[in-house]
Structure 1
Amino acid sequence: MPNSLIFIGERPSNLEMHIKGKPEFYDALLLSKKSHHPSSHLSYHSIPFHQSRVTIHIHETNSQFNCHHYSLQLIEGERPLSEEDAYDIFTNFAIMEDNKVTFLMHSRRKRIKLREKVNPKNLLAHEKQKV
């Protein structure tokens, strides 16, 4: 699997793939170990980078995803892709180079909003004046 594009899912044929999940930190740890056991509960599939060009057609967005010499390119279909759609497509894949694994992920943490205090304290300063 070194130097390849990795996805989690099924590969019914050489020209078809069904993505079943997005790689996460635990997947990166498993893939980066040299003793990766292929019979894990998730099935990892790879597309080697040494192939001249790999084009993946994405049915949901009617777009294409090209992989060519360590370059990833997303080509819009009939309708323009939002930034969120494009980000969602890229998060389905991990890139493995030797024993290093890189992946893009959504942060599931919600931003914390600071509450405004209901009755903020007022500080007053004054000088005593001689009368």
Structure 2
Amino acid sequence: MPNSLVFIGERPSHMEMQIKGKPDFYDAILLSKKSHHPSSNLSYHSIPLHQSRVTIHIRENNSQFNCYHQSLQLIEGEKKLSEEEAYDIFTNFAIMEDNKVAFLMHSGTKRIKLREKVEPRVLSVCEKQEI
């Protein structure tokens, strides 16, 4: 699958695809191995990127996703897409070039909370002196 747009799902016909999952780190490792052969339980499909432009029409929101000269472009349809909806479209695909795989992933709502800065402790020593 060199130089291709990869997705997880089914291809009922040459012109149609149904996305069933989003690629993750494990998928990137499997796809980057040269000896990878898709098994029946992992349904990776690829769209070759040797053409000058690949256009995918997305039915759910009547928009288009273009892959053109190593860039990705999302063209909105009648309804304006939110940032999350646009990001969700891009996370359905991985881009494979030779044995390198790139994909976007949503980190979720978990954020690393920075620890509050603790004031430095001041130690003092006092000796009891006799008078």
Root-mean-square deviation over aligned CA pairs: 2.0
Evaluate the alpha carbon distance shift between residue 65 and residue 115 of structure 1 in structure 2; reply closer, same or farther with a 3 A threshold: same
Give the secondary structure class of the aligned counterpart of 1:86.
helix
Q: How many residue pairs are counted as aligned between the two chains?
A: 118
Cα distance in 2 for partners of 1:73, 1:18 equals 20
8 Å CA contact 1:50–1:69 kept in 2: the answer is no
Aligned to 2:36: 36
Q: Cα–Cα, structure 1 residues 29 and 115, in superposed 2: closer, same or farther, change >3 Å?
A: closer
In the other structure, the counterpart of 1:47 is: 47
* 1:19 CA drift (Å): 0.4
- Offset at residue 37 of structure 1 (A): 2.1
Instruction: Work out the CA distance in 2 between the residues paired with 1:81 and 1:103.
Output: 21
| Structure 2: distance between partners of 1:51 and 1:113 | 45
Output one character per residue of 1:14-60: Cα deviation in whole Å (capped at 9) or x when no partner: 11000000000000000000111211512111111112321111111
Identity of counterpart residues, as a percentage?
84
TM-score (norm 2): 0.82
Query: In the TM superposition, what is the alpha-carbon distance from 1:109 to its structure 2 partner?
Result: 5.6
SS at match of 1:80: coil
**Residues 56-109 of structure 1: per-residue CA shift (max 9 Å, x gap):** 111111100011222211000001111101100000000001100000000136
Match for residue 76 of structure 1? 76
Matched to 2:42, the amino acid is L
Instruction: Give the whole-Å Cα distance in 1 for the aligned partners of 2:77 and 2:63.
Output: 4
> Using the alignment, how far apart are the partners of 1:61 and 1:80 within structure 2?
9
TM-score, with structure 1 as normaliser:
0.82
The AA in structure 2 aligned to 1:101 is V
Structure 1: gaps spanning 5 or more residues:
117-131
One-letter amino acid of the structure 2 residue matched with residue 35 of structure 1: S
- Name the structure 2 match of 1:119: none
What residue identity is the alignment partner of 2:81? L
CA distance in 1, matches of 2:115, 2:75: 42
